[in-house]
Structure 1
Amino acid sequence: MRTNTLKEKIERKQPVFGLFVSIPHPVIIEMIGHAEYDFVIIDLEHAATNMESVEELVRAAELAGMTPLVRISKVERTEILKVLDCGAQGIVIPHVEQREQVEEAVRHAYYHPLGMRSLNSGRPGVFGKYPLTGYIREANEQVMVVPMIESVEGIRQSASILSHPQVSWVLEGAADLSQSLGVPWQTEHPDVQRALGALYEAAKQCQVPYATVARSKEGMALWAERGVYIYVLGDDRNTAFRAYEQKRNDYGNAGGLI
């Protein structure tokens, strides 16, 4: 099985950068890789991506030297099994509010003795080329489980959720958290920032690395001062749109045309 380079970097507390990927085309992954990102989170929650596309996106991430993770749409045995059998090296679980959600995901994501993931000799196990007992051990060492905390209840239960030994790191979800707090899309609202601070403290208490979705350079600097080193810099669609918009406006203004 491929070495999870993201896991190694996080263990060294090395700054790492990732993007959500919602456009289901391998060229997008290639471009992100050439831009020297460390990981991608292929999105099954908000994007119209099918499982065949997931496998192609995972393969592109491997070729680009990035760690491929998948944000699943729900904690469900077959979906978790399929994305890992495609070669994803971890799952991101949206809307985690109870420790039981992590427990169920772990049961489906890991082989015995950590879980009961269904045995298979597909592409992560090189189609049975090597002894599968060794693959099982390696898979349990390489796969990551990442809960997203994005509600008031999730914040309230965060210490319990993050105390699970198989939690690799935690990702904040300020957007949905803002809605849960009654201030939708106001991610800089004091209530949202206080809740994120509580999540950060729970992560420190549980010795779980904290990941932020960096939404501004100022926010990036703030979290860097706190010692955070895992950053998700938005998604591919938003990043591309902003670049297209900026270039059109810059050139239009330079020519006095807009």
Structure 2
Amino acid sequence: MPAPKNTFKAALNEGKAQMGCWVGMADPYAAEISATAGFDWLLIDGEHAPNDLRSILAQLQVIEASSSHPVVRLPIGEDWMIKQVLDAGAQTLLIPMVESGEQAADLVRAVRYPPFGKRGVGSALARASKFAAIPDYLKSADKQICLLLQVENRAGLAALDDILATDDVDGVFIGPSDLAADMGHIGNPAAPEVMEAVIDAMTRIAAAGKAGGILTLNQDLIKKCLEIGATFVATGIDVTLFAGGMRDLAKRSRAMRDGD
């Protein structure tokens, strides 16, 4: 019996656009609510949300029980972090701040077992192998890992062609907010210079035959990226959706009290 099929990776390979949402509340109950919404994928954020290995694991468990595919973003592409979340059962990773083809190649090695990579062999202890219940896990796991790399500054854009030329990189995600900051437009990802850079990068990703991804609330940019051929697009963030809903309800409640 081989490792479970990564249906998200298969969809990207077939060019089928997958619509997702960021999950940053760092809580399995909230993640489970998001998992009932019907998104193709949900991003468990380990970079900017207060997650650790155990909270990521708990969210993987509840999301995997739904039709949404869990993607884990690590805070940094360290080998030991990659090894832990893969053993915990994640099959799709998003690694931030990738700035060179050499870094991309090193990350490919980190998600693969020897002799093709350097992932530590401990699958007998791992949830990923269903605790050794998948006898062919070690021989089949590599093909089901989906590696997504995040380019979000000028250095990354300058090296984009090298990153795209790296074998076994499944997709490249463009981060407009960090890119805007690096380009001198902090807090304004809609600046024309930033938008032009994002669209150019997405066009190059699609032309290279890789999956292109983005997180944006800008409806026009979402449509443009989909037209270009982006295949993993996040359109919202659970934290801002919850915060906005609560603030709106509080405002309307005060207005009813005050007779406005």
**TM-score over 0.5 (shorter chain):** yes
Q: How many residues matched?
A: 256
Counterpart for residue 24 of structure 1: 26
Counterpart for residue 187 of structure 1: 189
Q: Residue 56 in 1 paired to residue 58 in 2?
A: yes
- Structure 2 residue corresponding to 1:34, chosen from 33, 36, 49: 36
Counterpart for residue 108 of structure 1: 110
Counterpart for residue 131 of structure 2: 127
Counterpart for residue 223 of structure 2: 221
> Structure 2: how far apart are the matches of 1:184 and 1:148?
18
Q: Is the 8 A contact 2:202 2:230 kept in 1?
A: no
Specify the SS of the correspondent of 2:76: coil
Q: Is the 8 A contact 2:41 2:70 kept in 1?
A: yes
Q: Is the 8 A contact 2:22 2:42 kept in 1?
A: yes
- Structure 2 residue corresponding to 1:74, chosen from 62, 76, 95: 76
Which of 50-59 and 97-106 deviates more?
Answer: 97-106
Counterpart for residue 230 of structure 1: 232
> Structure 1: how far apart are the matches of 2:91 and 2:225?
26
Specify the SS of the correspondent of 1:112: coil
> Structure 1: how far apart are the matches of 2:256 and 2:212?
42
Write the deviation string for residues 221-250 of structure 1: whole angstroms up to 9, x where unpaired: 222332333211232211211232344445
Decide whether aligned partners of structure 1 residues 129 and 216 sit closer, same or farther in structure 2, where only a CA change above 3 A counts.
same
What is the one-letter code of the residue matched to 2:127?
R
What is the one-letter code of the residue matched to 2:246?
Y
Q: Is the 8 A contact 1:2 1:124 kept in 2?
A: no
What TM-score, normalized to structure 1?
Answer: 0.91
Specify the SS of the correspondent of 1:127: coil
Query: Aligned-pair distance for 1:47?
Result: 1.8
Decide whether aligned partners of structure 1 residues 113 and 42 sit closer, same or farther in structure 2, where only a CA change above 3 A counts.
same
Decide whether aligned partners of structure 1 residues 123 and 183 sit closer, same or farther in structure 2, where only a CA change above 3 A counts.
same
**Long gaps (5+) in structure 2:** none
What TM-score, normalized to structure 2?
Answer: 0.91
Decide whether aligned partners of structure 1 residues 253 and 229 sit closer, same or farther in structure 2, where only a CA change above 3 A counts.
farther
Counterpart for residue 144 of structure 2: 142
- Structure 2 residue corresponding to 1:197, chosen from 196, 199, 203: 199
- Structure 1 residue corresponding to 2:92, chosen from 90, 94, 118: 90
What is the one-letter code of the residue matched to 1:115?
G
Query: Aligned-pair distance for 1:252?
Result: 6.0
What is the one-letter code of the residue matched to 1:45?
E
Write the deviation string for residues 14-44 of structure 1: whole angstroms up to 9, x where unpaired: 2312222222211122111110012222112
Decide whether aligned partners of structure 1 residues 14 and 249 sit closer, same or farther in structure 2, where only a CA change above 3 A counts.
farther
Counterpart for residue 65 of structure 1: 67
> Structure 2: how far apart are the matches of 1:65 and 1:2?
14
Write the deviation string for residues 33-69 of structure 1: whole angstroms up to 9, x where unpaired: 1100122221121122111111111111111232222
**Long gaps (5+) in structure 1:** none
What is the one-letter code of the residue matched to 1:38?
D
Specify the SS of the correspondent of 1:128: coil
Query: Aligned-pair distance for 1:208?
Result: 0.7
> Structure 2: how far apart are the matches of 1:12 and 1:202?
18
Query: Aligned-pair distance for 1:113?
Result: 4.0
Decide whether aligned partners of structure 1 residues 243 and 138 sit closer, same or farther in structure 2, where only a CA change above 3 A counts.
farther
> Structure 1: how far apart are the matches of 2:215 and 2:133?
39
